[in-house]
Amino acid sequence: DTGVGKTWISQGLMRCLASSGKSVVGMKPVASGCLRTDQGLRNDDALLLQQAATISVAYELINPYSFEPAIAPEAAADLAGVTIDPRHIFDCYEELNSIADSVVVEGVGGWRVPLAGDYDVAMMARQLALPVVLVVNIRLGCINHARLTAESIRGSGMHLLGWVANHLNPAETNSYVVGMIDRALAAPCIGVVPLLPSSHLVSDYLVFP
């Protein structure tokens, strides 16, 4: 979902992989809410993934589709007169995959967010044939949301590699809720992450399977 901390967790996973000696890059295939710069549209999350990479790659490979309005990606693409092409996303991923040992791909909003017609985030994950890590922001309503998302991931034919309990609000820290989700998802919890001052610390709380 949007605002659950996917970018910080993605950076954490990248650093876990890098610590094992792998070359790692990140990818955020589609981003809205981008800022205009001298280099073109840039997304803060994609820039963070670029910074966490162990090798230097062009921004355009990390974030092939960037849009200025902070709205749903398909709507932003329509306003820009652009159709998101699954083939272009795949080609960018393949190029990254050819130069790095591992590519961590951050999703776009939630699992079923539409990107172009019937093509949505779930279809993108199937296209790239990647295992899925579900990030859950521990808050009111997260148990239902996590269970529904896990069901949808598996219903899409994808492998739920694990899930991360992310605490963005210290007032809602709840180990009982984390335990309930862990029992319900039937997938390993690969991290319980507290509210942190820096994304550089996230990897300390992750155990990559």
Q: Domain boundaries in the chain? A: 6-205
pLDDT above 80 (res 141): yes
Residue 165 confidence (pLDDT)? 97
Cα–Cα distance, 199 to 124 (Å, whole number): 26
For 123-146, what is the mean pLDDT? 96
Report pLDDT digits (tens) over 15-45.
999 999 999 999 999 999 999 999 999 999 9
pLDDT above 80 (res 209): no
Distant-in-sequence, close-in-space partners of 56: CB < 8 Å, separation ≥ 6: none
List active site positions. 28
Whole-structure pTM value: 0.94
What Rg, from alpha-carbon coordinates, does the chain have?
16
Please tell me the class of the 6-205 domain. Answer: alpha beta
Strands 114-116 and 30-31: unpaired
In the chain, % of residues over pLDDT 90: 93
pLDDT above 80 (res 208): no
Cα–Cα distance, 70 to 48 (Å, whole number): 18
Contact by Cβ (8 Å): 18, 54:
yes
Q: Is 39 exposed, middle or buried (0-12, 13-18, 19+ CB in 10 A)?
A: exposed
Residue 91 is encoded by which pair of tokens?
A: 């080609």
Tally of CB atoms within 10 A around 47: 19
For 35, phi then psi, to 5°, come to -105, 145
pLDDT above 90 (res 173): no
Residue 43 confidence (pLDDT)? 97
